[in-house]
Chains A and B, each alone.
Chain A
Amino acid sequence: MANAVTPASTASPTGLVRRSLDLIPGLLLLAAVGYAGKVIEQSIAVYTKSHHVTFPNIEYVLWAIVIGLIIANTTGVPRVFEAGVATYEFWLKAGIVLLGSRFLLGDVLHLGGISLLLVAVALTLSLTFMHLLGRAFKLKPKLTSLLAVGSSICGVSAIIAAKPAIDADDEDASYAIAAILALGAISLFTFPLIGHSLHLSDKAYGLWAGLAVDNTAEATAAGALYSDAAGKVAVLAKTSRNALIGFIVLAYAMYWASRGEAQAVGNKAAFLWRKFPKFVLGFLLISLLATIGFFTKPQLTSLANLSRWAFLLTFAGVGLRTSLRELGKQGWKPFAVGAIGEVFIALLTLGLVYGADRYLHL
């Protein structure tokens, strides 16, 4: 993250070339780790089939994440790879836009509408719960705000968006980010297990993962770990949730400004547009083009495959950027508040998804 592309560093052509060259080693590492995951999945499938062994199919997603985790937490990711590895979020967003080709706009509006409805209910309850929890644990109010935004809306992106808006401390932001990342990594392994044990349908599970898992990368991975169809729904639900970042951050900014502890928000429409995740518009545009028949069937297959390749780089990045050592250095209180909040949100959204499955016919 520290190797962010800044306007200043890309201003001159030589700066741009140098930045691009800096990305190559990390990009190659992402590709190698992701592809290794794919090869392992395929090799196991071929071996078990030829030897008539019954073995559950473990998706490349898990292998890529595990390989990344092993590298990040043993040898560590050398500095030369860091800039390229940090691009995993870029591939995630490009992959989500391309995934729009697999949705008819009607499905997007139907499932997205249900997601927004559930998100609104879950948000209200989870934000209230997180604030009560923060108060019970005597956390600083702004740290609680960051944890509430991170766990209810959109993980790290929401914390980064909210931090300057509410003038929160750097330390609070890094605590909240560490807690959200740790919890995201845990949910990757627990959500599919819970989903299978409850025999959730692909749609119900995908909706649950999209509503409950914080970071977009982890929500996408948690969905894809269950099934391809669940992965699609998880991305759609998470994208609906992301679309609300601006409104929540604006509400917090206005709250803290009213208490004289943050700058007042001038133009609210401009604020909302600045915080709005633009890839949501790209996703809708590609979905619209697919719906009106702009692409042939083989072309839609190609776009879906391009999306898969982009996600392969993303999943490798999820493992490579998760440092268990760094997470261990954070205090236990923010983590405890985040963890209790996450369990609450997971149970709440599970209940909502059950209700929606029954009454709104997913």
Chain B
Amino acid sequence: MSKTNTTASQRGISLDVYAVALALVLALLVRFNLIPPVKW
């Protein structure tokens, strides 16, 4: 549990950075029309 929490904590930080990076890449792909319009 201790190890789990430590790694989860470390991951909490890197997870945010990766999530922001993915979102920004997707936003740029949409902005420069490099992917087709996304439907829901």
Contact = CB atoms under 8 A, between A and B. Distances in A.
Contacts of A163: 5, 9
Given A98-B23, A301-B37, A306-B26, A2 B16 contact: no
Interface stretch (A21-29, A205-213, A217-225, A279-287): A279-287
Contact of B27 (A171, A173, A286): A286
B19 A274 contact: no
Interface of B: 1-2, 4-20, 22-24, 26-27, 30-31, 37-40
Contacts of B1: 170-171, 173-174
A299 B17 CA distance: 23
Given A90-B18, A93-B20, A6 B10 contact: yes
B27 A101 contact: yes
Contacts of B19: 90-91, 93-94, 97, 279, 282
Given A298-B37, A302-B38, A93 B15 contact: yes
Contacts of A281: 20
A286 B14 contact: no
Given A173-B1, A303-B27, A6 B7 contact: yes
A128 interface: no
Interface of A: 1-2, 4-7, 89-91, 93-94, 97-98, 101, 157, 160-161, 163-164, 170-171, 173-174, 274, 277-279, 281-282, 285-286, 289, 294-295, 298-299, 301-303, 305-306, 308-309
Contacts of A161: 9, 12
B8 to A, nearest CB: 5
A91 B23 CA distance: 10
B23 A282 contact: yes
Nearest to A92: B19
B5 A170 contact: yes
Given A94-B22, A279-B19, 9 more contacts: A7-B10, A89-B15, A93-B16, A164-B6, A174-B1, A274-B13, A299-B30, A306-B26, A306-B38
Dominant SS among interface residues on chain A: helix
Contacts, number: 100
Q: Which 9 A-B pairs have the closest CB atoms?
A: A282-B20, A93-B19, A97-B23, A278-B16, A170-B1, A302-B38, A4-B7, A94-B19, A4-B11
A4 B16 CA distance: 13
B5 A164 contact: yes
Contacts of A4: 4, 7-8, 10-11
A279 B23 CA distance: 10
A201 B9 CA distance: 37
A1 B17 contact: no
Nearest to B32: A299
A101 B31 CA distance: 12
B3 to A, nearest CB: 9
26 contacts: A4-B7, A6-B10, A89-B15, A94-B20, A94-B22, A94-B23, A97-B19, A97-B23, A160-B12, A164-B5, A170-B2, A278-B16, A279-B19, A279-B20, A282-B16, A295-B27, A299-B30, A301-B37, A302-B30, A303-B30, A303-B38, A305-B40, A306-B30, A306-B38, A308-B40, A309-B38
